[in-house]
Amino acid sequence: MFSYKQLRSRSRILTSRVSEGMFFLRRFVGAPRQVGSVMPSSPYLMRAMMDRIDWDLPLNIAELGAGTGVFTRAIVGRMTSGENPDEKLNGNLMVFEIDPALKAIIEKEIAGLVVYGDARELPQIMESLSVRQLDYVVSSLPFAVLPPRMTASILDAVDDGLKPDGKLIAYQYSKHMKPYFEKRFESVKISFVLRNVPPAFVYECSNPKKKK
């Protein structure tokens, strides 16, 4: 049985998830190929993505295509002790979201976090922050439906930015990107998360070939 307080807090979480979902759906209707999904990722997909990361801090992480911030919140939570809301991150987190309305949601929620725009700007942002190499890139970008030149230039930036033993952790709704990832990475492991709308494939891509 839940107490009245627990029920109120659960209903508040549910209400905010529903309004976040409705907002996201409206952004999808406005730009389906850019947003690439009808609703934010589920907690199951979020955990599957976060579990691919060895949280041996400090880490340099880039998150691409943050949407309403489902993964951003999880990453920030893992890069801090969670005890003090003003606490600095243990490492560097560069978050990218091209939709200004979604970008604004995250910046409003996570005080002090700067959200950058187009993921193609990753090299310039790394340079401006003096971040030489990334441990992880966490991507939600709908690579399969983005313009092919945009996908290629983002993947070039990811290859260039990652450490030789760095990883790209990405989810996709199909196996369309498998050969493209295999061309660029020594190892590509795929797992499947059923409890997401739609169900998703999680790609763990290790050791960029360019760095060999």
Ligand X SMILES: C[S@@+](CC[C@H](N)C(=O)[O-])C[C@H]1O[C@@H](n2cnc3c(N)ncnc32)[C@H](O)[C@@H]1O
Q: Give the torsion sign (CA, 99, 144, 208, 89).
A: positive
CA 95 to chain centre: 8
Which H helix or E strand runs over 151? Answer: helix 148-161
Among 141, 158, 188, 193, binds ligand X (CB under 6 A): 141
> Taking the complex as a whole, how short is the minimal distance between the CB of residue 50 and ligand X, in angstroms?
12
Tokens of 51: 């579990």
- Cβ closer to ligand X: 102 or 134? 102
Does 134 contact ligand X by CB under 6 A?
A: no
Q: Is 73 exposed, middle or buried (0-12, 13-18, 19+ CB in 10 A)?
A: middle
Amino acid found at 71? F
Does 153 contact ligand X by CB under 6 A?
A: no
- Cβ closer to ligand X: 7 or 104? 104
Amino acid found at 173? Y
> Taking the complex as a whole, how short is the minimal distance between the CB of residue 138 and ligand X, in angstroms?
9
Amino acid found at 32? P
Does 139 contact ligand X by CB under 6 A?
A: no
Distances (CA, A) of 139 to 1, 22, 84, 199: 39, 22, 27, 16
Size of the site for ligand X (CB under 6 A): 24
**Cα(186)–Cα(183) distance, rounded to whole angstroms?**
8
> Taking the complex as a whole, how short is the minimal distance between the CB of residue 5 and ligand X, in angstroms?
29
- Cβ closer to ligand X: 34 or 92? 34
Does 37 contact ligand X by CB under 6 A?
A: yes
Among 40, 161, 166, 208, binds ligand X (CB under 6 A): 40
Choose one: 128-136, 137-145, 158-166, 202-210; the region binding ligand X (CB under 6 A).
Answer: 137-145
Residues 76 and 110: beta-carbon distance below 8 Å: yes
Among 20, 41, 60, 126, binds ligand X (CB under 6 A): 41
Does 20 contact ligand X by CB under 6 A?
A: no
Does 97 contact ligand X by CB under 6 A?
A: yes
